[in-house]
Amino acid sequence: MTLPLIGFIFAPLFRRDPAVWRTVGKVGDFKVGETSAVDFLDASPLPWAGMTAKTAAWLRRTSEQDFIAFAINCSHLGCPVRWQPSAGLFMCPCHGGVYYEDGSVAAGPPPAPLARYPVRVWGGEVQIQTRPIEIQRG
């Protein structure tokens, strides 16, 4: 009787959430040198998740075929960062975290750069490999 209970309690610690490639647009939808917000479904949405199954990332096109995708969450406490194109910076409104366009920390309390998602171009479409992003809380 206690073995199923122990399994029930500890199973989430060992479950691996799936990594899924999600299309976020066609290559031509993104201009070289620009950063855009893209929305996609979480890798492991629950049937009842509804709108919470949707998430987002910042996608930066660095060349004709190269892209970088950043987590939308600050590495300090997970607040959503905003892209400020005129400054070329990501800004966190919660505690003043600032990141350069490459995701590295420019100022404030963030302990690490913005997390990144793997990106690929597949059949003329840009895809992000969705997976849970681990936020390093400082």
Each as own residue / partner, the long-range contacts of residues 104-113 (CB below 8 Å, 24 or more positions apart, any chain) are 105/75, 108/76, 109/76, 109/138, 110/74, 110/75, 110/76, 110/138, 111/75, 111/76, 111/136, 111/137, 111/138, 112/75, 112/136, 113/75
- Our count of domains for the chain comes to 1
Cβ atoms 103, 113 nearer than 8 A: yes
Model confidence at 132: pLDDT above 80: no
Residue range 100-125, pLDDT digits in tens: 999 999 999 999 999 999 999 999 99
Which whole number is the average pLDDT over 63-78? 92
Model confidence at 36: pLDDT above 80: yes
Q: Which domain holds residue 90?
A: 17-130
| Inside any domain, residue 4 | no
What is the enclosing helix (H) or strand (E) of 4? helix 2-14
Mean pLDDT of the chain: 83
Which whole number is the average pLDDT over 93-102? 94
| Inside any domain, residue 6 | no
| Inside any domain, residue 9 | no
Q: What is the CATH number of the domain that holds 43?
A: 2.102.10.10
| Inside any domain, residue 138 | no
